[in-house]
Structure 1
Amino acid sequence: MSIICGLPVLECVYCLACARWAWQKCLYTAGYESENWGLASADEFEPVPRMCRLILAVYEDDIRNPLWAPPGGYGINPDWVILRKDYGDNQGRVTPYMIYLDHDHAEIVLAVRGLNLAVESDYVVLLDNKLGQTGFQGGYVHNGLLKGAEWVFDAEFNVLRDLVAENPTYALIFSGHSLGAGVAALLTLIALHNQDKLDIERNRIKCYALAPARCMSLNLAVRYADVIYSVVLQDDFLPRTTTALEDVYKSLLCLPCLLCLMCLKDTCTLEKKMLRDPRRLYAPGRLYHIVERKPFRAGRLPPVVRTAVPVDGRFEHLVLSCNATSDHAIIWIEREAQRALDLMREKDQLMEIPAKQRMERNESLTRRNQEYEAALQRAVALEIPQPYSPPSYGTFHEIDTREDSASSSDRPASLSGKKRNDSWNEFVERLFDVDDSGHMVFKKTHR
C-alpha cells in the first residue's frame, strides 16, 4: 500500500499508534488506578511509617550506632530486639530479618528487608501442594517467595510461639519491603494456617507489605485483605510487573527496555483474560496507594493515601515514568508515608468534639467491611477461578462482631437462592388464589 500510494501509510499509522500509547502511558502517572478509592484514616495508616523504619533498621550492622538513620531516628529500643539474622545466618535462603518486641505499641514484629533474594525459576505453585487440603485452598503463590517464608517460619517458630505466650495481648505483625514484602505476606498465610500451634487468634495477626512483589493469585489477594495491607508509592514498578522476579533483577541494566516491553504486553492483553488466569499473580491484600504527583506539575504535592480492596484494576499495568524505580525505594516510602500521616493527624486535630472522631472511626470500619463484601461479589461476578471455595473461605468476617454480622454472601449460592424462592412462593400463596380458568386472582379478605 505504501508503494501504490507513494506514502508510508502503514508506517505512519504504526508511529501514530505508538505515540498515542506512549502518551497515554506517560499521562498515567497521576494515580488513575486509585482515583475512585476512598481516603485512608490516620488510625489505620499509623503503623506504616513505623514499619518502614523497622525495616530500615535491619540494614544497620549496629543498631546502637546507626549509620543511615532517617530524620528522628528509627524510634526503636535496641534492648527490645530479640534477634537479627543476616545472609550468613540464613544460608542464603531469605533476606536478612529482625524480630522486635515493641512494648510501646503491644506488637511482636518480624521485619524482612528486600534485595538479593534468590527466587526460583518455577514461577508459581498451587498453595494446596504446600499447605494441604485445608485452610488456604484454591490459590497460587510465588514458589521462591513461599520457600523463603517456609524457611523463616520453621527457623523462628519456637521464638514466635514463646513471645506470643509471654505477651498474650500483643499483636503478631509481619512486615517487609520489595521481595521481603512477598515473603512477609506468604509468611502471614503460613502463620494463619498454623495459628493453633502459635496459640494466637486470627484478629491478632497482621501484615504490612511495602512495595510488594506480586506473590499470590487474585482470589487469595482479595480474600485475605483484612489481614494483609500493601503500600504502594505512586508509580512503583514492582507491584505492577508480572514478569518473573528473577528476570526483573537480572535485567537491571536494561530495565527501561524491560518496562517498555511489559507495558506493551499488558496494554495488548485483554483484562477479562488476565482476571480469569488462575496462575497470574497480584499484589496482596488491601491496597494503600500514596499519590503525590500529577502530570505537568513540578515537584511533589502533599501526599494523599487512597485505599480499597480492588478486584479489576489492581495495579494491572506498568507505568512509563522516570520515578518508576525511585518510588520503590524504602527511604522514599518512609518519608512520604510519614508526611501523609502528619497531614492526616493535622486534619484530625481540627475536629473539636471527640464523639465526632468516634463516629468517623465507626464509619471507616463500616466502609471497610462494605468494601470487603463488594470485592468478593465483584470477584464472583467476574468468574475468577477458585478451585476450592468452601463457604468459610477467608477471614473477612472474623472481626470482633463477626458472629452478629454474618452476611448472606457467606452462604452457598444454591442455599440462598432456595430460601429466596421459598420466601417468594409463600408470599404469592398468601396473596393470590387460582380460579377455575387457571388464572391467579387476589384472595378475598374476610372482615
Structure 2
Amino acid sequence: MSIVCGIPILESVYCLACARWVWQKCLYTAGHESENWGLATAEEFEYVPHLCRLILAVYEDDLCNPIWDPPGGYGINPDWVILKKDYEETRGRVTPYMIYLDHDNADIVLAVRGLNLAKESDYAVLLDNKLGQTKFNGGYVHNGLLKAAVWLFEAECGVLRELIERNPNYRLTFAGHSLGAGVVALLVMVAVQNRDKLGNIERNRVRCFAMAPVRCVSLNLAVRYADIINSVVLQDDFLPRTTAALEDVFKSLFCLPCLLCVMCLKETFTLEEKKLKDPRRLYAPGRLYHIVERKPLRIGRFPPVVRTAVPVDGRFEHIVLSTNATADHAIVWIERESQRALDLMLEKDRSMEIPSKQKMDRQESLVREHSEEYRAALQRAVALDIPLAFSPSSYGTFRDVEEGETSGKSSGEVSSSSTKKRRESWDDLAERLFNTDEAGDMVYKRSVS
C-alpha cells in the first residue's frame, strides 16, 4: 500500500525534472556557451563577410550576370577568378569550388560551397565516417572529409603553388561553408603538412575560415590548429553542435526537431569529463567566432555581437532547442549578420576616432593576444588530460625537433630530459653558492672582502 501511495510522488518528481530540463534548454539560447568569451574586433573579423560572399559566388553559373547576388553584390572582380569547377569537373569528390586572386586584399582564396541536398555524392562524402575510423597527425578526423581534402589538394596544389610564387606577399586563405567548411578545415591541415608542394609558404601566411562547420576533428587537433583555423557559428546553428551520426540526422530530416530533442536529452545526462576523455569525439575546428543576435524569451533579432575564444571544455557541446537551429546554418544569414556585426564594430571605432598609428598598434597587440590565448588553450588541454594533447613549444603548434635530437622521443623521454636539465642547473647553482667541508657537509660561501 505504501508503494502505491509513493507512485504519485515519483511522477511529480519526474515531471518536475522534465520541466526543469525543458526550461534550461529553452534558456540555453542567446549564446549561453560563449557568454564568458571576449568580444571580437573589427580587425580580426572584417574579412568574414567578404569570404561569405565569395562562397556564395560559387553558386553562380555566370559571375558576369549573377542571379543570387546579395544586396550590394558579391564585391569581386570576375576577371580575377582563376578557375571555377562544378560537380562534373570534381566528379563528386568534393562540392564545387573556386580559386580567386584577391588583389584588393593581397590574398589567394580557395572557396568551397556547402552541401547540395539534391546531390548523392555530397551525402556520400558526409556520411563516410565511423567513430574513430581515421587518424591524422596524432588525432582523429572525419574520414570522408579528409579524402575530399586530399583529393582537392592534389588537384589544385600546382595552381596554388604557381599563384604563390607569382605573388610572394599574398596570403593563402581557404574558405568554405557547411560540408565545404569541413573540407577546407582538413585541407589547411593537409596543406601545412605539405608546404613543400606549395613553394614552402610560411605557416603564418596560411589560414582557414570555416562557416558553420561540421564537427570534423578531435579535440586535440581542434585546439592545436586554432592559430590558422577560424570557425564562424551563427547563434543556434545545429551542425557544429551535432555529435550524433550525420546519417541519422539526414534520415530524420523531416523529423529533425524530434531527433534534436532526443540528442539534447542524451547530452544533458552525459558527464562533461566523459566527453573530454573520448579521443575519437569530433569537434568544430580552430578558433571559434560566435555571432549572437537573439535573446531568450525575446522576439526578433537584436544588433549582433561577435564573441571569440579558443575554448577547450564547453566547446559547443549542447544542442539548442530553437526554431532557428536550422535557419542559422544558412550561408545567406551568416553573411547578412556578419556584415551587420562588422558595420557596428566599424561604427564604434569611427565614433572613438582611433588614429592610424594606434590602429596599427592595436593590430599588433591583437596578434599577441591571440597567440597568448592559443598557448593558454593548449596548456588547458594538457591540464584537463585531453588525449593526445601536449604543451605548446616556442615555435607554435608543432614540437620542432632541435638539431641532434630525434623526432621519435616519447613524452616520458622528453619529461626525463627536462628533469635532468633542471637537475644540472641546480647542481651548478649549488656549486657556486656552497662549499663542501671535510665532513662532507655543504657550507655557504662567504664573500671575500
Place the TM-score, normalised by the shorter chain, in its bin. 0.7 to 0.9
The equivalent of 2:275 in structure 1 is 274
Q: 1:2, 1:237 → 2: CA distance?
A: 46
Q: CA deviation at 1:376?
A: 0.8
Note if contact 1:224-1:396 (Cα within 8 Å) is conserved in structure 2: no
Instruction: Confirm or deny that 1:154 pairs with 2:161.
Output: no
Q: CA deviation at 1:173?
A: 1.1
Q: 2:306, 2:326 → 1: CA distance?
A: 20
Note if contact 1:226-1:396 (Cα within 8 Å) is conserved in structure 2: no
The equivalent of 1:18 in structure 2 is 18
Change (3 A) 1:430 1:351: farther
Note if contact 2:434-2:443 (Cα within 8 Å) is conserved in structure 1: yes
> Which TM-score applies when normalising by structure 1?
0.88
Note if contact 2:220-2:389 (Cα within 8 Å) is conserved in structure 1: no
Change (3 A) 1:172 1:354: closer
Q: CA deviation at 1:308?
A: 1.0
Q: Kindly provide the CA deviation profile for residues 147-206 of structure 1, in whole angstroms up to 9, marking residues without a partner as x.
A: 111222222222222222222222111110011100011111111122101102222211
Q: 1:216, 1:161 → 2: CA distance?
A: 26
Q: 1:383, 1:35 → 2: CA distance?
A: 25
The equivalent of 2:376 in structure 1 is 374
Instruction: Judge which range, 171-180 or 84-93, deviates more.
Output: 84-93
1:30 aligned counterpart, secondary structure: coil
- Map residues 245-394 of structure 1 onto 2, 5 A cutoff: 245-349=246-350, 350-386=352-388
Q: 2:325, 2:277 → 1: CA distance?
A: 27
The equivalent of 1:42 in structure 2 is 42
Change (3 A) 1:418 1:31: farther
Instruction: Judge which range, 340-349 or 215-224, deviates more.
Output: 340-349
Change (3 A) 1:389 1:44: closer
The equivalent of 2:227 in structure 1 is 226
Q: CA deviation at 1:125?
A: 5.2
The equivalent of 1:133 in structure 2 is none
The equivalent of 1:406 in structure 2 is none
2:28 aligned counterpart, secondary structure: helix
Note if contact 1:137-1:388 (Cα within 8 Å) is conserved in structure 2: no
The equivalent of 1:123 in structure 2 is 130
Q: Kindly provide the CA deviation profile for residues 46-70 of structure 1, in whole angstroms up to 9, marking residues without a partner as x.
A: 1100110011111112211111111
Note if contact 1:40-1:305 (Cα within 8 Å) is conserved in structure 2: yes
* Partner amino acid, structure 2, of 1:58: V
Q: CA deviation at 1:230?
A: 0.4
The equivalent of 2:80 in structure 1 is 80
Q: CA deviation at 1:392?
A: 8.7
Note if contact 1:188-1:205 (Cα within 8 Å) is conserved in structure 2: yes
Q: Kindly provide the CA deviation profile for residues 225-256 of structure 1, in whole angstroms up to 9, marking residues without a partner as x.
A: 11111001111111111112232223210110
Change (3 A) 1:20 1:421: farther
2:173 aligned counterpart, secondary structure: strand
- Map residues 30-109 of structure 1 onto 2, 5 A cutoff: 30-109=30-109
Q: 1:235, 1:2 → 2: CA distance?
A: 46
- Map residues 116-265 of structure 1 onto 2, 5 A cutoff: 116=116, 117-118=122-123, 119-124=126-131, 128=135, 137-199=137-199, 200-265=201-266
2:163 aligned counterpart, secondary structure: helix
Note if contact 2:378-2:392 (Cα within 8 Å) is conserved in structure 1: no
CA-based RMSD of the aligned residues comes to 2.8
Q: CA deviation at 1:8?
A: 1.6
* Partner amino acid, structure 2, of 1:267: T
Note if contact 2:312-2:381 (Cα within 8 Å) is conserved in structure 1: yes
Instruction: Judge which range, 34-43 or 213-222, deviates more.
Output: 34-43
Note if contact 1:101-1:109 (Cα within 8 Å) is conserved in structure 2: yes
Q: CA deviation at 1:429?
A: 5.8
Q: CA deviation at 1:414?
A: 3.8
Q: 2:364, 2:158 → 1: CA distance?
A: 37
- Map residues 368-447 of structure 1 onto 2, 5 A cutoff: 368-386=370-388, 395=397, 412-424=414-426, 426-427=428-429, 444-447=446-449
* Partner amino acid, structure 1, of 2:273: K
* Partner amino acid, structure 2, of 1:166: R
Change (3 A) 1:49 1:438: same
Instruction: Confirm or deny that 1:29 pairs with 2:29.
Output: yes
1:29 aligned counterpart, secondary structure: coil
Q: Which runs of 5+ in 1 are unaligned?
A: 129-135, 399-410
Q: 1:421, 1:35 → 2: CA distance?
A: 44
Instruction: Judge which range, 198-207 or 433-442, deviates more.
Output: 433-442
Note if contact 1:138-1:388 (Cα within 8 Å) is conserved in structure 2: no
Note if contact 1:112-1:184 (Cα within 8 Å) is conserved in structure 2: yes
Note if contact 2:381-2:389 (Cα within 8 Å) is conserved in structure 1: no
Q: 2:148, 2:131 → 1: CA distance?
A: 14
Change (3 A) 1:138 1:248: same
Q: 2:247, 2:213 → 1: CA distance?
A: 15
For these two proteins, the number of residue pairs brought into alignment is: 429
Q: 1:24, 1:421 → 2: CA distance?
A: 53
1:74 aligned counterpart, secondary structure: coil
Note if contact 2:106-2:169 (Cα within 8 Å) is conserved in structure 1: yes
Q: CA deviation at 1:300?
A: 1.5
Instruction: Judge which range, 423-432 or 179-188, deviates more.
Output: 423-432
Q: 2:440, 2:298 → 1: CA distance?
A: 72
Q: 1:292, 1:433 → 2: CA distance?
A: 69
2:84 aligned counterpart, secondary structure: strand
Instruction: Judge which range, 147-156 or 43-52, deviates more.
Output: 147-156
1:15 aligned counterpart, secondary structure: helix
Q: 1:433, 1:267 → 2: CA distance?
A: 63
2:92 aligned counterpart, secondary structure: coil
Q: 1:115, 1:360 → 2: CA distance?
A: 38
Instruction: Judge which range, 384-393 or 196-205, deviates more.
Output: 384-393
Q: 1:335, 1:45 → 2: CA distance?
A: 14
